[in-house]
Amino acid sequence: GDSVTQMEGPVTLSEEAFLTINCTYTATGYPSLFWYVQYPGEGLQLLLKATKADDKGSNKGFEATYRKETTSFHLEKGSVQVSDSAVYFCALSGIYNQGGKLIFGQGTELSVKP
């Protein structure tokens, strides 16, 4: 079945460091891919998405490119801030799913120190 694997956390970085959170997936066909962010005690917010191969999603300085050849959707940011500290979830919505059901990775906690 469809699945998503993220790099394990927690990831601790200094402010202005470069961020990469790896995400790979297994799915039939061409799923849609998403990154969600969860701040402490809150629900999830959509950060960015890509719906087809080679699409690049971007938002708030974060980017991720849909790589069909490596089945990856790695999240990157050139310069992180303390306010980026949160848990990041990679997710996919497969083409054969029921009504847009999401498959989540396990989440990666990011902690940015001043």
Partner 1 sequence: GAVVSQHPSRVICKSGTSVKIECRSLDFQATTMFWYRQFPKQSLMLMATSNEGSKATYEQGVEKDKFLINHASLTLSTLTVTSAHPEDSSFYICSARDGTRDSNQPQHFGDGTRLSIL
Token pair in block for residue 2: 């469809």
41/114 with CB nearer partner 1: 41
Handedness of CA 100, 104, 64, 23 (dihedral sign): negative
- Short-list 24, 16, 6, 2, CA closest to 69: 24
Q: How many residues does the chain have?
A: 114
17/109 with CB nearer partner 1: 109
Least gap, CB of 45 to partner 1 (angstroms):
7
Binding mask 11-50 for partner 1 (x = CB under 8 A): ---------------------x-x-x----xxxxxx--x-
**94: contact with partner 1 by CB under 8 A:** no
**114: contact with partner 1 by CB under 8 A:** no
**72: contact with partner 1 by CB under 8 A:** no
Q: What's the rounded Cα separation, in Å, for the pair 20 and 22?
A: 6
Q: What's the rounded Cα separation, in Å, for the pair 56 and 49?
A: 8
Chain residues in the site for partner 1 (CB under 8 A): 32, 34, 36, 41-46, 49, 51, 89, 93, 98-102, 104-107, 109
